[in-house]
Amino acid sequence: MFKGHFLHGLIAGILAAVAANIYNQIYFFATETDFSRVLGVGRMVSLSILICLLAAFLNWFLTERFKNRGELIFNLLFSMGSFALVMIPISISLPIDIKNPELFPGLAVPMVFFPALAWYTVVPFFRGKTDNSTIR
């Protein structure tokens, strides 16, 4: 049922958003460089939740379509997608007045993996509550 997948995505998104904000604070205190104009709190939260909700829909679709193999296909796609998204923070052009632009990938690249990490972290809580999510 989609309700379990949606709840899984929402909780994973919130967990990823919390992790991103904590990492942002740690990175700011370590480097004393503020990237809030480029990657603010609202953007971090909304992107984390959006990615996890899209993952929930994809997981639901694949488990409905492919039954037992759907979870495996989803895990491969989500992991490969996370690695592909690393190109975004590496290739982004920052405004010219940002201090230490070379430090931006050190902030943003780890954050790309937070939604996938949060998703895989909360999987055990939802295993068996969604229709085809148990791995056999």
What does each of the 136 residues of the chain score in pLDDT, given as a tens digit? 789 999 999 999 999 999 999 999 999 999 999 999 899 999 999 999 999 999 999 999 999 999 889 999 999 999 999 999 999 999 988 888 888 899 999 999 999 999 999 999 999 998 765 455 444 3
State how far the Cα of 11 lies from the Cα of 96, in Å rounded to an integer. 37
DSSP for residue 93: P
pLDDT number for residue 128: 66
Residue (of 9, 11, 18) closest to 51 by Cα position: 9
In contact, 99 and 33? CB cutoff 8 Å: yes
State how far the Cα of 44 lies from the Cα of 36, in Å rounded to an integer. 10
**3-class SS at 92?**
coil
CA 3, 72, 23: angle at the middle one, nearest 5? 70
Domain regions of the chain by residue span: 2-126
State how far the Cα of 55 lies from the Cα of 51, in Å rounded to an integer. 6
State how far the Cα of 62 lies from the Cα of 112, in Å rounded to an integer. 22
pLDDT number for residue 67: 86
pLDDT number for residue 1: 74
Alpha helix positions (H), 1-128 = 2-31, 41-66, 70-84, 87-91, 104-112, 114-126
pLDDT number for residue 132: 53
CA 78 to chain CA centroid, Å, is 9
